[in-house]
């Protein structure tokens, strides 16, 4: 029996300072569900996570952001942490890639501070979103309706607030990617 996400390819985009659990939990959960998961970054080699109050583990980068084609993937996951999205939102190729996924109507899942990337890509206006509490004003100022909920789904955009929300966040990503059963 195949798992729900067999033959699905997921891209996680991150750089140094990603929130450790917000990259590892979705990566591992999606892999367990049968998906192929790649890590894209703005640099080659390894990137280092942030784990609560100090630097965390390193994660191997599979592909450079500039080499990614949205058409090769089924969804994009954006982990938070304060450092990671702040570094990525000033990288033209990272922001352009987010727009490419949006233009293709593919799921984009952003947690914690990662909705900053949605703001930078021009995707917040008119959307119902959630985020970490310290950036909610930024998200609202970008034209989003900001709510305080574990997971918010608006069209192809999935958002969550913090690591405590990871189970609901991962469930929403999987649900967005599960094949629709055809009635025969």
79 in Cβ contact with 52 (< 8 Å):
no
Q: Is residue 112 domain-resident?
A: yes
Q: Is residue 1 domain-resident?
A: no
Rg of the chain (C-alpha set): 15
Q: Is residue 145 domain-resident?
A: yes
Q: Is residue 38 domain-resident?
A: yes
Q: Is residue 126 domain-resident?
A: yes
Domain count, the chain: 1
Q: What are phi and psi of 146, to 5 degrees?
A: -100, 130
CATH code where residue 46 lies:
3.40.50.880
Which pLDDT does position 184 carry in this prediction?
A: 36
Q: Is residue 125 domain-resident?
A: yes
Q: How confident is the model at residue 2 (pLDDT cuts 50, 70, 90)?
A: low
Q: Is residue 3 scored above 90 in pLDDT?
A: no
* pLDDT, average across residues 67-83: 97
6 in Cβ contact with 37 (< 8 Å):
no
Q: Is residue 157 domain-resident?
A: yes
Q: How confident is the model at residue 49 (pLDDT cuts 50, 70, 90)?
A: very high
Q: What is the pLDDT of residues 89-131, one digit of tens each?
A: 999 999 999 999 999 999 999 999 999 999 999 999 999 999 9
Please state, as a whole number, how many other Cβ atoms lie within 10 Å of the Cβ of residue 16: 18
Q: Is residue 33 domain-resident?
A: yes
Task: Give the range of the structural domain holding residue 129, as residue numbers without chain letter.
Answer: 9-177
Half-sphere exposure of 8 (CA within 13 A, CB side): 26
Helix (H) or strand (E) holding 129: strand 128-129
**C-alpha closest to that of 147 among 80, 167, 139:** 139
CA angle, 115 then 44 then 20, to 5°: 45
Instruction: Tell me whether residue 92 is one of the annotated catalytic residues.
Output: no
177 in Cβ contact with 35 (< 8 Å):
yes
Question: Rounded mean pLDDT of the chain?
Answer: 95
Per annotation, catalytic residue among 27, 89, 113, 127: 113
Q: Which two tokens stand for residue 112?
A: 């914690």
């Amino acid at each position: 029996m195949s798992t729900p996400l067999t033959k699905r390819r997921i891209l996680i985009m991150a750089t140094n300072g990603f929130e450790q659990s917000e990259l590892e939990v979705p990566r591992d959960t999606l892999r367990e569900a049968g998906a192929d998961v790649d890590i894209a970054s703005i640099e080659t080699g390894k990137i280092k996570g942030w784990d609560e109050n100090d630097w965390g583990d390193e994660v191997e980068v599979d592909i450079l952001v500039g080499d990614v084609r949205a058409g090769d993937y089924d969804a994009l996951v954006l982990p938070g942490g304060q450092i990671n999205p702040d570094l990525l939102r000033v990288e033209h190729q990272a922001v352009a890639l987010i727009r490419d996924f949006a233009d293709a109507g593919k799921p984009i899942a952003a947690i914690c501070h990662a909705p900053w990337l949605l703001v930078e890509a021009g995707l917040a206006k008119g959307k119902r979103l959630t985020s970490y509490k310290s950036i909610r004003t930024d998200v609202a100022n970008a034209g989003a309706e900001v709510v305080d909920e574990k997971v918010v789904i608006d069209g192809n955009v999935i958002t969550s607030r913090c690591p405590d929300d990871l189970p609901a966040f991962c469930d929403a990503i999987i649900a967005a990617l599960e094949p629709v059963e055809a009635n025969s």
